Homo-oligomer: A and B are copies of this chain.
């Protein structure tokens, strides 16, 4: 964590977090145009008009910038999914929404204009920390919904909760993970509903 004292005095330049945000915004723009894999920190520095050394003051590597962009992107997907789940009334509907909205949000962020796909693919291939944390949070959300449905008597309680949650996450995964999602693009309109229906049948008491 930064302490207040480490921020520059007002008038002497932008605060560190502002510079970081500025680098991330410029990098997002640059990567989305030229691709993450093909861009070096030097290219990026030139494009933003900063020195390479200055960028390295704020990020230790290109991946660190990519991680930040990826984390922002995953945060947006998660926000959409949580909002949809909260708006839904009962646990079965929550589960339906999870399937639907997570697929839609992933498609939008990873594939519209192929913008961030390159970063998302590296993140998923190399098991970036931000991805692992995101997957863990989605699994937790899924467990919470299942738990709620068990308590209300809408979902069966014979199967261990862990087992149910793991299996359902495996069913969701091809629509959450960008590497898998790219090969399911022709079924993303119907698959989330069909799979949610199958999963709900498997949960009936």
Give A residues with C-beta under 8 Å from B: 124, 156, 159, 163-164, 166-168, 170-171, 173-174, 177, 179-180, 183-184, 187, 191, 194-195, 197-199, 201-203
> Within the complex, what minimum Cβ distance (angstroms) separates A99 from chain B?
11
Contact A170 B183 (CB under 8 A): no
Report 20 cross-chain contacts, Cβ distance below 8 Å, ordered by A residue.
Answer: A156-B201, A159-B201, A163-B197, A164-B198, A166-B194, A167-B194, A167-B198, A168-B198, A170-B187, A170-B195, A173-B174, A174-B174, A174-B180, A179-B183, A180-B180, A180-B183, A180-B184, A198-B199, A199-B202, A202-B202
> Within the complex, what minimum Cβ distance (angstroms) separates A153 from chain B?
17
Q: Which of B156, B179, B195 contacts A171 (CB 8 A)?
A: B195
Q: Which B residues are in CB contact (< 8 Å) with A166?
A: 194
Whole-angstrom CA separation of A179 from B159 in the bound complex: 32
Q: Report if A195-B167 is in contact (Cβ < 8 Å); known contacts: A159-B201, A201-B202.
A: yes
Whole-angstrom CA separation of A54 from B159 in the bound complex: 62
> Within the complex, what minimum Cβ distance (angstroms) separates A25 from chain B?
30
Whole-angstrom CA separation of A170 from B174 in the bound complex: 10
Q: Which B residues are in CB contact (< 8 Å) with A184?
A: 173, 180
> Within the complex, what minimum Cβ distance (angstroms) separates A149 from chain B?
14
Whole-angstrom CA separation of A164 from B198 in the bound complex: 7
Nearest B residue to A179 by beta-carbon distance?
A: B183
Most buried by B among A184, A187, A198, A199: A198
Interface contacts beyond A173-B184, A198-B202: sample of 20 additional A-B pairs, CB < 8 Å, sorted by A: A156-B201, A159-B197, A159-B201, A163-B194, A166-B194, A167-B194, A167-B195, A167-B198, A168-B198, A170-B191, A170-B194, A174-B174, A174-B180, A179-B183, A180-B180, A180-B183, A180-B184, A199-B202, A201-B202, A202-B202
